[in-house]
Structure 1
Amino acid sequence: MRIGELAKSVGVSVETVRYYQRQGLLDTPEKPYGQNRHYTESHFKRLKFIKRAQALGFSLAEVVSLLSLSASDCSEVEKVASRKLLLVREKLADLSRIESVLVEAVAGCQERRPYEGCPIIESLIDQKS
């Protein structure tokens, strides 16, 4: 398949494919004289892996790390995934705290009297770092 077909099959742009090639995440096939480059099933699978890993929250640097590990090196892959899981859990805890503050702030707006200031603005000013 050609680069446009590859990109479309994975749901990315041609420029994304080219960017991954420049970053060394995806190899660039040889271009026969006077013809187009042809991408294989291997390119498709690798590009799909990159996009799925990103969808799970892995950065491109982490994707490079995952790609460098062999499928038989499951313990190293597990370590990378465990670190990512820990970060995700920390972010979830942060988001939960943010949600609690916003729920309280919105409730304060609904209970405010017309002559009072905005409780959301006031809570942001009064918040301790």
Structure 2
Amino acid sequence: MKISDLAERSGISAHTLRYYEKTGLFSASQRNESNYRIYSQDDLTTAKFIKRSKECGFSLAETATLLAIKHDKSQHVCAEAKSITSTKITDITQQIAQLKQMQKTLQQLEQYCCGGQESAEFCSIIAALEQE
């Protein structure tokens, strides 16, 4: 299949597929006489794997490691994939905590602002952000 077909069937844009190829994450199984990429069903499976990995929040480097495990399962152990996943869970948990703190701070700023038409010289949000 051509890159446009792969893009449609995988849900990944052709531009992104080319980027993945450039970074070494993914490549076409073959090229024809005109040097056009030709993708196989296995390539589609790999593209979908990459998309699902990205949807889970894995970085390209983490996805590359997971692909290496996928492509050579007999040389890897399940603990490798679990470790990557556990680390991602820890990262996301920290991000959620940071976002909750940001939300709390923003809600406090919003609560103390009158939101009126007075000059911003008296705006409590601006004043709070100006403080060190």
Question: Which TM-score band (shorter chain)?
Answer: 0.7 to 0.9
Superposition CA RMSD, Å: 2.3
Find the aligned partners of 1:34 and 1:125 in 2 and give their Cα distance.
Answer: 61
* Alignment of 1:98 onto 2:105: no
Deviating more after overlay: 9-18 vs 91-100 = 9-18
Q: Which runs of 5+ in 2 are unaligned?
A: none
How far did residue 66 of structure 1 move?
1.1
Find the aligned partners of 2:129 and 2:35 in 1 and give their Cα distance.
Answer: 61
Aligned counterpart, 2:21: 21
- Give the TM-score taking structure 2 as reference length: 0.83
* Alignment of 1:9 onto 2:14: no
Aligned counterpart, 1:43: 43
Indicate the percent of aligned positions where both proteins have the same amino acid: 31
From 100, 118, 125, the equivalent of 1:120 is 125
* Alignment of 1:73 onto 2:77: yes
Find the aligned partners of 2:37 and 2:116 in 1 and give their Cα distance.
Answer: 65
How far did residue 112 of structure 1 move?
7.3
How far did residue 27 of structure 1 move?
2.3
Check conservation: 1:112, 1:119, Cα contact below 8 A. no
Q: Which runs of 5+ in 1 are unaligned?
A: none
Deviation track 1:91-111 (CA, whole Å, cap 9, x = no partner) reads 000000000000011111138
State the AA in 1 paired with 2:21.
Q
Number of residue pairs matched by the alignment? 127
